[in-house]
Amino acid sequence: MRKIYLWGIPVVLIFFFLQLVQAAPVCERHYVVGFMSTPPVYFYKSGKKLGVGYELSMEAVKRLGCRYTEFVGSVSSVLTAFSRNQVDFVGPISNRVSFDKSEFVELWRSKRRLLIRKEKSVTGIASPSFYVKESKLVFGALIRGNFYLSKEEIELLQNQNRLKSFINGDDLMRALKEGRIDAVIAGPSIFNHYLDKVVQTQNYVLLDDLSTGEMVWGFYLSKSRMNSRELQGLISVFRNMKNDGSVERILQKYQAVDDELRKISMLTGGQL
């Protein structure tokens, strides 16, 4: 009995050592993740955090096994923080926005869409570009969030004093509902979140932009805050998420309803 007891000591020690190794974090890196606090990127529902940006980011850090801190703010404040090297990565965001010392990882592409007040629409006209040129229409966009408008469109609207900026999506869509703006150009997830929640679909026309190419969406990664190994590791994680269908699965949670509304709009000549 004494011999078994003596040999059992190192066996027990080895067992507990292995348990400690397995319990240790896979990654010692502590990331700062930027979240633009406007639905459907990042928001709360019944006390739970949700959003396409939140879920994509959480999936990435989970796969890395790393710790993280949330940097939450308006579109403007988060993008400013990223440009000042205070945030490691931020998204989803269009590659139309550019930053110094950064790497862009593409995750998906989509057409932009126009939501316009029904009384302001023109029967048979389905091009958002046509409405941008209409001198009496006022458009709304987020501060530093004009991802969906080209530089030429922004310049035209600003020169004609027809572009109003808002801090968040709630204020933007409320202005549309109240008639302070006439139209918004955005993407599937945004309209899915707000249609029938803030604005009633029967009062608007929803149109796909078939006149321009698809917009590219993804995450920006900071080269200033990450070394080459960390940068390539995060790029690989995002690409794997795209390849294994995780990105598509998360996207569908936030834009499937809008896709159905768009189909109805197309079948009824654009009238919702």
pLDDT tens profile 100-131 = 999 999 999 988 888 999 899 887 777 888 89
Angle, vertex CA 193, rays to CA 270 and CA 117, nearest 5? 35
Inform me whether the pLDDT recorded for 169 exceeds 50.
Answer: yes
103 lies in the same domain as 192 = no
User: Is residue 188 included in any domain, yes or no?
Assistant: yes
Domain with residue 177: its CATH number is 3.40.190.10
Please state the domain count of the chain.
Answer: 2
228 lies in the same domain as 170 = no
User: Is residue 6 included in any domain, yes or no?
Assistant: no
3-state secondary structure of 154: helix
pLDDT attached to residue 112: 85
Q: Higher-confidence residue: 190 or 228?
A: 228
35 lies in the same domain as 148 = no
152 lies in the same domain as 180 = yes
The whole-angstrom separation of Cα 151 and Cα 132 is 12
User: Is residue 21 included in any domain, yes or no?
Assistant: no
176 lies in the same domain as 228 = no
Under 8 Å between Cβ of 93 and 147: yes
pLDDT attached to residue 270: 39
250 lies in the same domain as 169 = no
User: Is residue 15 included in any domain, yes or no?
Assistant: no
169 lies in the same domain as 202 = yes
Q: Classify residue 195 by its DSSP letter.
A: B
Q: What is the domain range of residue 225?
A: 27-110+215-254
The confidence band for 20, taking pLDDT boundaries of 50, 70 and 90, is very low
Nearest CA to 34 out of 60, 15, 10 is that of 60
User: Is residue 122 included in any domain, yes or no?
Assistant: yes
Q: pLDDT tens, 81-102?
A: 999 999 999 999 998 888 999 9
86 lies in the same domain as 220 = yes
User: Is residue 16 included in any domain, yes or no?
Assistant: no
Nearest CA to 74 out of 143, 170, 141, 171 is that of 143
User: Is residue 247 included in any domain, yes or no?
Assistant: yes
pLDDT attached to residue 263: 42
Q: pTM, whole model, 2 decimals?
A: 0.77
150 lies in the same domain as 181 = yes
Inform me whether the pLDDT recorded for 261 exceeds 60.
Answer: no
User: Is residue 240 included in any domain, yes or no?
Assistant: yes
pLDDT attached to residue 197: 63
81 lies in the same domain as 41 = yes
105 lies in the same domain as 117 = no
222 lies in the same domain as 209 = no
> Of all residues in the chain, what percent carry a pLDDT higher than 90?
50
